[in-house]
Amino acid sequence: MLEGEVIAMRTGSEPATARSPLRLRLWLSLWGTFWALFGLLAFSLTGRPGWTVACAVLLALTLLDLWVVTYRMRQGARYQPGRDVPPYEPDQDGRPRWRGPDPGDGTRPP
């Protein structure tokens, strides 16, 4: 262990004390959607097709992110993955342990 290195200990209360960044992402997506739409309209009216396409692509990305954020917010704060997702195991010795089944070809993921 390096001098001054801090080891994060799990207390077991992480799910209860975790803060979701979804509300911040929602506001940033709305802000980006507004400016991408503004740029799309401004550049299309001034006859700049390259910038218009760039703003259209940015608008599509911000709308996609907005949809993903609202979808995840509607899942609720207590959403848990299904039984097919293995539980999280903390980092040990700087390297996560592999808990999944052996792929059968003699190799194991890092």
Which tens digits make up the pLDDT trace of 41-69?
Answer: 999 999 999 999 999 999 999 999 999 99
CA distance linking residue 100 with residue 110, whole number of Å: 12
pTM above threshold 0.75? no
Q: Closest by alpha carbon to 37, among 54, 55, 53?
A: 55
Q: Which one of 54-63, 78-87, 96-105 scores highest in mean pLDDT?
A: 54-63
Q: Closest by alpha carbon to 22, among 75, 88, 59, 80?
A: 75
Identify the pLDDT of residue 10: 58
One-letter amino acid at 11 equals T
